[in-house]
Amino acid sequence: METRRWTNPTQPQTLQIAVFLLYINAVFVAIYGGLFNPIGLLLIAGGVGGGYGIANEKRWGYTLALVVAGIGVLFALHDIISLMFAAALAALLLHPQSRDYQRIWFR
């Protein structure tokens, strides 16, 4: 029986932190009005979906998380705090340890 999980403690630290940042970012987008904006809804769904996909070692989850991180960087250029979180998420996902792990283990 295959288990589904929201976090995966067996993954490298870079991917674990990226999953937490994806979830936290989705919550903050929802709190600050993203529920009433089509782009905000896509960022919320993409963040939760990407985090869930990474936790379950799915290649589509990693790709979705990269897209959400890229969009987050583009939309956060006017706010330094949001830009720092978006850049940290992108850096964690593009870190060599994360890329190697997903290339080897993700399905």
- Is it the case that residue 2 has pLDDT exceeding 80? no
pLDDT attached to residue 11: 94
Q: How many CA atoms lie within 13 A of 14 on its CB side?
A: 16
pLDDT attached to residue 21: 96
- Is it the case that residue 1 has pLDDT exceeding 60? no
- Is it the case that residue 84 has pLDDT exceeding 70? yes
User: Taking a C-beta distance cutoff of 8 angstroms, is the pair 15, 102 a contact?
Assistant: yes
pLDDT attached to residue 34: 85
pLDDT, tens digit, 9 for 90 and up, residues 8-63: 999 999 999 999 999 999 999 999 888 999 989 999 999 999 999 999 999 999 99
pLDDT band, residue 3 (cuts 50/70/90): confident
**Mean per-residue pLDDT, 69-98:** 91
User: Taking a C-beta distance cutoff of 8 angstroms, is the pair 46, 68 a contact?
Assistant: yes
